[in-house]
């Protein structure tokens, strides 16, 4: 007898994808600029304006998109599950 697999979509289902993005942008800004708060706010403004944030950073800070993507993907976010999700997960994962 095999155990069935359980698959969950995490982005904007269990936690806020935007909070993840904001923590990534904050850590990227801290790694690139002494004035990290100003850069962070500029990055968010560009994001809201649907501009290429990483394109801007590659030109201004002489960093590759690959390096930026690595910072984005491997940062350590401080995120919380949406309300009620932990109860759901406990129930969902305890069933076979």
Q: For residue 68, tell me if it sits in a domain.
A: yes
Range(s) of the domain holding residue 28: 17-77
Overall size of the chain counted in residues: 96
Asked whether residue 37 is domain-assigned, the answer is: yes
pLDDT tens, N- to C-terminus, the chain (96 residues): 566 677 666 667 777 889 999 999 999 999 999 999 999 999 999 999 999 999 999 999 999 999 999 999 998 888 888 888 888 888 888 875
Residue 51 CA, distance from chain mean position: 17
Q: Is residue 12 part of a domain?
A: no
In this prediction the pTM is 0.76
| Domain assignment present for 70 | yes
Cα angle value 56/74/22 (rounded, 5°): 55
The predicted structure's pLDDT at residue 3: 65
Does residue 44 sit within a domain? yes
Contact between residue 71 and residue 58 where contact means Cβ atoms under 8 Å apart = no
Inside any domain, residue 27 = yes
Domain count, the chain: 1
Does residue 90 form part of some domain?
Answer: no
In a domain, 48, yes or no: yes
């Amino acid at each position: 007898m095999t155990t069935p697999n359980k698959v969950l979509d995490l982005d904007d289902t269990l936690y806020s994808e935007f909070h993840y993005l904001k923590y990534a942008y904050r850590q990227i800004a801290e790694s690139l600029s002494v004035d990290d708060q100003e850069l962070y706010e500029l990055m968010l403004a560009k994001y809201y304006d649907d501009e290429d944030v990483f394109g801007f950073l590659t030109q201004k800070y002489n960093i590759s998109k690959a390096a930026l993507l690595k910072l984005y993907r491997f940062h350590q976010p401080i995120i919380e599950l949406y309300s009620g999700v932990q109860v759901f997960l406990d129930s969902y994962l305890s069933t076979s």
